[in-house]
Structure 1
Amino acid sequence: MLRFFSPSYISAGFVAVLVGYAGAGAIVFQAANAAGATPDQISSWLWAVGIGMGVSSIGLTLFYRQPILIAWSTPGAALLATSLPGVPMGDAIGAFIFSSLLLTLCGVTGLFQKIMAFVPQSLASALLAAVLLRFGLDAFVALEADVVMVGAMVAVFLAAKQFMPRYVIPLTLLTGVVIALIGGQISSIDTDFTLTRPVFVMPSFDLPTLIGVGIPLFIVTMASQNVPGIAALRAHGYDAPASPLIGWSGFTGVVLAPFGGYAFNLAAITAALCMSPDVHPDPAKRYPAVLWASVFYCLAGLFGAAITALFIAFPAALVMAIAGLALLSTIANSLEAALKEETERDAAILTFAVTASGLTLLSIGAPFWGIVIGMGAYLFRKHFTRIKKG
């Protein structure tokens, strides 16, 4: 029980939630505003996504004893911010339910599991490395913005890696927070910690909205979020079946959509923070980090805007630096796994390059196209090899 309170678990969970809210919390606000939500409804959206992520993550993590983190769909929120203006709130909620039902069906029918079973480990690792690459690079982009704070964080990170590897992330984060406090870089925080009251909105189902909002939300969430999420699990050696995870995250959306829980999916970037070797050398003992992240998610939901303000009060350079440094080990391990098998190396590097490019085609993000192009190269090589042998 005492090991559960290890600083490495607590800090990994906190950093995962910090990165999630500081990096994408504003997009959820924008999506809610685009739907014409009232202040109470915006708070309800925050309640729904926080409680949904926290409760579902706790349940799945304890059931499988693996670090399974559920997140909101960041690309989905960005899509909603541009597609919801002029759409009645009831119709928007109906589209959320429709999208989550499609996600649930993909899980219940086992379709997603069958698709992912064909993806080689090398391609999954390449996909994960590419998804995380931008965050690793941003740690050093942040150095340009704040040499003193980020430079000190990098120095502590390197020293702690050698002498106190279990506490490298807590010490690095603490260094950044102390310097930010001394420099007056942490903005004022709303201290109104009143419990958020969920607001129910009766859904209505408008066919054009279901097609124009619900289906794109489903595609973006599945292709840009769930595929990298499964890749993150597989790249770290976790074997929890994909279909139940997709099914339960979709069902969470069905239940919480009337309160603003627009879409839930497997986390990739924030989950990788909880799967890092820096959390614990033994992969089987890393899952408590997700339990701590779940606690912070639930608190963020219960106290709505106040907790969100706490997370976004940290300076951008600090968030970029701690996220990037925390993910460096995962990026390195993923690249090693991606390029280890010589016969799959070309397909893996294609997957990595396309995904890292950030291209968007047909409103679908780079992770989907990376795995499609990489799988095409892998299958072509496999078929060509059979012909040569035959």
Structure 2
Amino acid sequence: MDTISSSLRSRDFISPTIAALISVIVNYGGTFVLVFQAAKAAGLSAEMTASWVMSISVGVGITGIWLSYRYREPIITAWSTPGAAFLVSALAVTPYSEVIGAYIISALGFIALGLSGMFERFVRLIPSGIASGLLAGILLKFGISAFGGAEFDPLLVVVLFAAYVILKRFTSRYAIIGILIIGLIYLISVKNVDFSNIKWAIATPIFVVPELSFDTLLSVALPLFVITLTGQYMPGMLVLRNDGFKTSANPILTVTGLGSLLAAPFGSHAFNVAAITAAICTGKDSHEDSNKRYIAGIACGIFYIIVGLFGVTLAALFLILPATFIATLAGLALLGTIGSSLAGALIDPKGRETALITFLATAANVTLLGVGGAFWGLVAGLAAHVLIHGHFRQKSSRMSRIKQAQQK
């Protein structure tokens, strides 16, 4: 009996760990190139770039492990992707020491917001249908990309898709790990990846003395704060809520803000709760039992720390994987989450139209005033909800109970 029990406990680690690995691969392979572009724009040396990679990777790893363990939920932390995109242009015209000062000010803003509790109160007001519509809209492009890559590498997409369908038929729990292994074997067999130029080297953190200026406060710190809050924290919290996790945003904001504050002098721009890659770890494909999905959060943190210790070495390893492979892998891994989000958005007949508005407006991904489509999709959905129904808070709890029952 003890052997069987031990075996069952061991099996509980497999799916969440694989989900975590895929999440990390998608994060580094899909968006981390923005960090390298920003570092190049700033004219940073290889050592300074490695310090940035190390500080942000180890930082999100530690915060993710602590939050996931403390609250027993898959709280995946990551760097601000829209923030990195913004820094590509900002670092080209701003002294690096002043940008470091802006990172510190932005981090203090997140700590203050977390301690105030204001953000959590706002998140609780959002109707569940609109939250699901927002998540579905954010993830739609990733689902489409799972098949769009066929235009560039049709055989790779066919191999991954066929493997996914067959594995779903016979061993659904291990479908994602299966397509990851099969995809890597295929890439190596057709010589579509070259690991010969990868050199292992441990990164060294480099401290940069921050400088504070009013101009940088307005031109870097404030935009970074707003972009990260609307583009990362908001959808990230709704990902957790959509999969039934209830941890308050307050400690998440406070812990990630504190982590950002400590890591900023070494080059890290901002930690936050993850959104898109978090969805790989928070759904049923990670583990059927939602109480055991927090393992994925801890595993993600461990992987991030490993990458961080080797600085740009492992980050470069992820970057050499073909874009089509990353996109297809991410899209197939997110299919279940996209489906459940769409179902959650349309389950309540009274809120179906406003949820659909949120979904379409978010999927359009329009950027206005420097703020991304997720924020404007949420604004459109909430405005429609208030104008149509005449109230902000969801009055009926029946549909909410139905949705929670479906998630269990």
TM range, smaller chain? over 0.9
State the number of aligned residues: 386
Deviation at 1:191, TM superposition (A): 3.9
Comparing 34-43 with 263-272, greater Cα deviation is found at 34-43
Deviations 1:308-341 (A, max 9, x none): 1111121111111110000000000000001111
SS in 1 for 2:224: helix
Deviation at 1:384, TM superposition (A): 7.9
- What stretches of structure 1 of length at least 5 have no aligned partner? 386-390
Q: What is the match of residue 59 of structure 1?
A: 66
Q: Distance in 2 between matches of 1:273 and 1:315?
A: 20
- 135, 144, 147: which is aligned to 1:137? 144
Q: What is the match of residue 118 of structure 2?
A: 111
- 273, 296, 299: which is aligned to 1:292? 299
The one-letter amino acid of 1:40's match is E
Identify if the C-alpha distance between structure 1 residues 102 and 4 changes in structure 2 by more than 3 Å, giving closer, same or farther.
farther
SS in 1 for 2:78: strand
Q: What is the match of residue 372 of structure 1?
A: 379
**1:159-174 mapped onto 2 (5 Å cutoff):** 159-174=166-181
SS in 1 for 2:286: coil
Q: Distance in 2 between matches of 1:4 and 1:367?
A: 36
Deviations 1:338-367 (A, max 9, x none): 111111111111111111001011100011
Q: What is the match of residue 153 of structure 1?
A: 160
Q: Distance in 2 between matches of 1:180 and 1:150?
A: 11
Q: Distance in 2 between matches of 1:384 and 1:234?
A: 21
Q: Distance in 2 between matches of 1:119 and 1:287?
A: 24
- 265, 270, 275: which is aligned to 1:263? 270
SS in 2 for 1:343: coil
**1:113-262 mapped onto 2 (5 Å cutoff):** 113-262=120-269
Question: Is contact 1:35-1:84 (8 Å) kept?
Answer: yes
Deviation at 1:4, TM superposition (A): 6.4
Deviation at 1:189, TM superposition (A): 4.8
Comparing 167-176 with 311-320, greater Cα deviation is found at 311-320
Deviations 1:145-180 (A, max 9, x none): 222221111111111112101100000111111111
Q: Distance in 2 between matches of 1:212 and 1:11?
A: 40
- 378, 382, 386: which is aligned to 2:389? 382
**1:302-381 mapped onto 2 (5 Å cutoff):** 302-381=309-388
SS in 1 for 2:351: helix
Q: Distance in 2 between matches of 1:291 and 1:62?
A: 7
Q: What is the match of residue 32 of structure 1?
A: 39
Deviations 1:80-136 (A, max 9, x none): 101121311110100111111111111110010111111011111111111111111
Question: Is contact 1:190-1:306 (8 Å) kept?
Answer: no
SS in 2 for 1:265: strand
Q: What is the match of residue 109 of structure 2?
A: 102
Q: Distance in 1 between matches of 2:296 and 2:369?
A: 36
The one-letter amino acid of 1:347's match is T
Identify if the C-alpha distance between structure 1 residues 384 and 135 changes in structure 2 by more than 3 Å, giving closer, same or farther.
closer
Q: Distance in 2 between matches of 1:384 and 1:7?
A: 44
Comparing 276-285 with 103-112, greater Cα deviation is found at 276-285
Q: Distance in 1 between matches of 2:77 and 2:147?
A: 28
Comparing 123-132 with 282-291, greater Cα deviation is found at 282-291
Question: Is contact 1:70-1:265 (8 Å) kept?
Answer: yes
Deviation at 1:144, TM superposition (A): 2.3
Deviations 1:281-318 (A, max 9, x none): 11111121222211111011000111111111211111
The one-letter amino acid of 1:382's match is H
Identify if the C-alpha distance between structure 1 residues 325 and 105 changes in structure 2 by more than 3 Å, giving closer, same or farther.
same
Q: What is the match of residue 388 of structure 1?
A: none
SS in 2 for 1:152: helix
Q: Distance in 2 between matches of 1:310 and 1:276?
A: 27
- What stretches of structure 2 of length at least 5 have no aligned partner? 1-5, 393-408
Deviation at 1:217, TM superposition (A): 0.4
Q: Distance in 2 between matches of 1:360 and 1:313?
A: 29
Question: Is contact 2:13-2:295 (8 Å) kept?
Answer: no
The one-letter amino acid of 2:21's match is F
> What is the root-mean-square deviation in Å for CA atoms of aligned residues?
1.6
Q: Distance in 1 between matches of 2:331 and 2:29?
A: 14
Q: What is the match of residue 14 of structure 2?
A: 7
Question: Is contact 1:90-1:201 (8 Å) kept?
Answer: yes
Deviation at 1:5, TM superposition (A): 7.1
Q: Distance in 2 between matches of 1:106 and 1:349?
A: 30
